[in-house]
Amino acid sequence: MLAMVRDQISGEAMTLEQFIEKLLGAYEAFATSEADQPSACLCLTLDHWERFREQYGYSGLIDLVGKVKAMMLAESDVEILACALNERCVLALLPQCSLKTAEKQTDKLFRLVGEDTFAIGEETVALSVSVCFTEFDHRFTSADQLLLNLIKSTEQISASGGNVVKRIRPNVSAGQASASDQQMLGLLMESLRKDAVKVLFQPLMATAGEPSKSFQMLPRITASDGSLISAAQFVPVARQARVLGVLDRWMIQRAIHLLVNDYHLQPLRLFLSQGESLLVNPERRDWLRRLVEKHPGVSGKLVLDFALEDALANLKSAAELLALADELGIEVCLSRVDEHSKWDLLSDRLRVDYIKMSPEFVQRLGQEDKLERVFQDASAPVREQGTRVIMPMVEDAAAAANLWRTGADYMQGYMIEREVETLELGD
């Protein structure tokens, strides 16, 4: 797709307006393409440029920058589009250029400029420059933000002494991501692209005890300040942008990798929340079949967790998924259930292995005297057929005591145990 937005020959100089137009087009193609073709942008700034300005004036500086730009175009080993930003700075776009190639070209340019001398009028000068580069990255909300981050970083490095070549990375803090859906989405997509989503594990305690240990897999993305952003913050954004299925697929692949490679001999059950992609997309269900058939060892160890409202909105597809899950030995959980849910469907067309009550229901259970009896009556037919009940968000001792009395099969929450980074499967 990037080829559609560039028609310049390799190594061509252009005006700033033309360069910006090409950069905007290339970045738009990158941001909207599933192929995710890499590209890079670099910035070269003259160090101590004020000295040259005082000695040779602006005309001398502009001539000097022109010579550096000419060297950049002549010596590049790959296609490059370049322009002068101002009297001290040169920008270059390297379309469809990998990070490794961009780094190699930046190092080469830095070395060549440092080794050469340049004529200004009748004088010959040696230059110190700062050269920074950045790859196209989903964490940038736009090409403008990429360019602003790159230029500011290069200027700061030059002002602090310079003579440096450096890769610039986008900095998106947890606070910035939380304040901007676009920032959050970019951070998520870049984490998925680089296989950098972090997974935590929260134990589910079986009230009657059982040989297998159960854990909920919780995805997290890491902000530039090192803090972890919870799924509750980025899943709604991913759902709205219609890319939640990408995360769902990644989570299934990660769970199967753990079950097949890291914990294949352990009595373990992993729960992972899913959006609606498996419910609405037959191709995604075919993908799941092929994946599980390739790794039959996950049978009985993998639980796919769907929101009840998603299943109700896709009853026919949900029934097809349940049949497939039964065939493959995968268990299914329906979440966000309360006393008003369609319990008749849960005992008929949506017979699943687990139901997870909503956090709001768990909270009210300890506050409304009649709610426990309503729950017991509504859930009795479902529990008689073997469906097990999970009570999440158990945050205090009083709530835990109430839930023991209801006969819940599993409890989950900070009162039981907080999430951990690695699975603890010992006695």
Q: In what order do the strands lie in the sheet with 129-135?
A: 12-13, 81-86, 89-94, 40-46, 129-135, 165-167
417 part of a folded domain:
no
End-of-domain residue from the set 167, 192, 209: 167
The C-alpha atoms of residue 174 and residue 141 are separated, in whole angstroms, by 15
Bridge-based pairing state of the strands 129-135 and 40-46 = antiparallel
Instruction: Identify whether residues 232 and 346 lie together within a single domain.
Output: yes
418 part of a folded domain:
no
**pLDDT 10s digits, 83-127:** 999 999 999 999 888 888 999 999 999 999 988 888 888 888 888
The C-alpha atoms of residue 99 and residue 157 are separated, in whole angstroms, by 21
What's the chain's length in residues?
Answer: 427
Note the helical H segments in 94-230: 99-115, 143-159, 174-179, 181-193
CA distances in angstroms from 291 to 101, 295, 387, listed in the order given = 34, 7, 26
Which residue type, as a one-letter code, is found at position 335? S
426 part of a folded domain:
no
Give the 3-state secondary structure of residue 89: strand
Instruction: Identify whether residues 82 and 50 lie together within a single domain.
Output: yes
Instruction: Identify whether residues 202 and 142 lie together within a single domain.
Output: no
Instruction: Identify whether residues 155 and 190 lie together within a single domain.
Output: no
Residue by residue, pLDDT tens for the chain (427 residues) are 233 333 333 456 789 999 999 999 988 888 777 566 779 999 999 998 888 888 889 988 899 999 999 998 998 888 899 999 999 999 999 988 888 899 999 999 999 998 888 888 888 888 899 999 999 887 787 888 889 989 999 999 998 888 889 998 876 555 655 556 777 888 888 888 888 899 999 999 888 878 889 999 999 988 877 888 888 888 888 888 788 888 999 999 999 999 998 887 788 999 999 999 999 889 999 999 999 999 988 999 999 999 998 999 888 999 999 999 999 999 999 999 999 888 988 988 899 999 999 988 888 887 787 888 888 898 999 999 999 999 988 877 666 666 777 778 898 887 778 888 888 766 5
319 part of a folded domain:
yes
CATH number at residue 400: 3.20.20.450
Contacts (Cβ under 8 Å, ≥6 apart) of 118: 64, 67, 68, 124, 125, 126, 127
Give the 3-state secondary structure of residue 286: helix
76 part of a folded domain:
yes
Instruction: Identify whether residues 79 and 214 lie together within a single domain.
Output: no
Count of domains forming the chain: 2
174 part of a folded domain:
no
CB-CB contact of 337 with 356 (8 Å): yes
The C-alpha atoms of residue 53 and residue 99 are separated, in whole angstroms, by 34
CB-CB contact of 277 with 244 (8 Å): yes
With CA atoms as reference, report the closest residue to 350 among 387, 398, 298, 303.
387
Instruction: Identify whether residues 153 and 254 lie together within a single domain.
Output: no
The C-alpha atoms of residue 174 and residue 172 are separated, in whole angstroms, by 7
Give the 3-state secondary structure of residue 369: coil
130 part of a folded domain:
yes
End-of-domain residue from the set 125, 140, 167: 167
Instruction: Identify whether residues 326 and 197 lie together within a single domain.
Output: yes
176 part of a folded domain:
no
Helices (H) and strands (E) in the chain, counts: 16, 17
Instruction: Identify whether residues 185 and 163 lie together within a single domain.
Output: no
Which DSSP state fits 211? S
Instruction: Identify whether residues 115 and 263 lie together within a single domain.
Output: no
Q: What is the pLDDT of residue 323?
A: 95
With CA atoms as reference, report the closest residue to 241 among 317, 141, 341.
141
**pLDDT 10s digits, 156-174:** 999 888 888 999 887 655 5
Which DSSP state fits 297? G
Q: Distance between alpha carbon 413 and the CA centroid of its chain, in Å?
A: 25
């340019």: which residue's tokens? 109
Domain range holding 143? 2-167
In this structure, the dihedral spanned by the alpha carbons of residues 86, 87, 88 and 90, taken in order and rounded to 10 degrees, is: 50
């997309």: which residue's tokens? 281
